[in-house]
Amino acid sequence: MLKCNEIANLASDYLDRNLSWKEYFSVKMHLFMCGHCKRFVEHLLSTIRVVQGMERPLATPQETENILNHLSDKNQT
Amino acid sequence: MPDHRQIHNGIDLTSLRKQDHQAFTDLVEKYHRQMVIVARAIIGDSLAEEVVQEAWVSIYHALPSFEGRSSIKTWIYTIVSNQAKTRLRKESRLVSMNDMEEDIPAYLKAERFHDNGRWSSPPPLWDTESPEDMLENDQLRQCIEKTLELLPTQQKSVFLLRDIEQQSLEEICNILQIANSNVRVLLHRARVKLMQVIDHYQETGQC
């Protein structure tokens, strides 16, 4: 039987299905009986969804211009 | 005339293969920041920007022959990764990029658990668990952005490639030259740290 501290370490592998069938089943069993760990895994999943929903940081106009200038310098030489 | 342009995730591959200026500018704008994060994880802060600049030149010249066997972003990240690795060999110096020993989030530390392995300080309740509601909160979004920014280089890079760019673990291992088991540890630590920020925000209303 897995303990809470083990679940806390396996939570990402559980969400990403990176566990063997046996491990996956053991985690599922634990989550069925332990509200704290269930909450931990649910919060971890919500966290991932929140970050995925955020806008990607775009390059600033200056950064983009630097790249394009460097490219045109290279093309001329 | 029918339009045969190939568009993936808002990226116009047909124009890119023709090295169209606007399409290339859009690509730079969209991926430059992320490429720097990946390059830093391989070669360190001081040379990352330079490596990425050269990688963009290579990408531009290779665009006409992009076959689309992988997605464009996997292709781009592979190019920047290869350039960073080549540069690393040329520099023939050791860049210590080992994040593994430091920075274990509080949630995963022994203090958080009793000796029998049960929670001594269990995860707190959240007022809302809905990602949509949380995304509407500007202050919380800023807290998350700040935490992302401050993640150790390798954690940041693994998190970006997996959770934002949806690359497979195998691809991430190739891009960053990190063993599968370490990629998983780094990813988990990054996610848990971000979760701790939300915990703290829900509890105190502050970052």
What residue in B sits closest to A15 (Cα-Cα)? B188
Of A8, A43, A54, the CB nearest to B141: A54
What residue in B sits closest to A71 (Cα-Cα)? B57
What domains are there in chain A, each with its CATH number? 4-76 (1.10.10)
Contact B126 A54 (CB under 8 A): no
Contact B188 A13 (CB under 8 A): yes
CATH number of B106-204: 1.10.10.10
Percent of all residues in chain A with a pLDDT value above 70, rounded to a whole number = 99
Q: Per residue in A23-48, pLDDT tens?
A: 999 999 999 999 999 999 999 999 99
Contact B33 A59 (CB under 8 A): yes
Mean pLDDT of B103-107: 89
Residue B2 has pLDDT above 80, yes or no: no
Mean pLDDT of B101-128: 92
Residue B194's pLDDT band, with cuts at 50, 70 and 90, is very high
Q: Is the ipTM of this complex over 0.85?
A: yes
Residue B204 has pLDDT above 70, yes or no: yes
Residues of chain B with CATH 1.10.10.10: 106-204
Contact B184 A52 (CB under 8 A): no
CA distance B4 to chain A (A): 27
Mean pLDDT of B105-119: 95
Residues of chain B with CATH 1.10.1740.10: 7-91
Helix (H) or strand (E) holding B12: strand B11-12
Residue A17 has pLDDT above 60, yes or no: yes
Q: Per residue in B26-77, pLDDT tens?
A: 999 999 999 999 999 999 989 999 999 999 999 999 999 998 888 999 999 9
Interface of A with B in 37-66 (CB under 8 A): 37, 39-40, 42-44, 46-54, 56-59, 63-64, 66
Contact B29 A47 (CB under 8 A): no
Architecture of domain B7-91: Orthogonal Bundle (1.10)
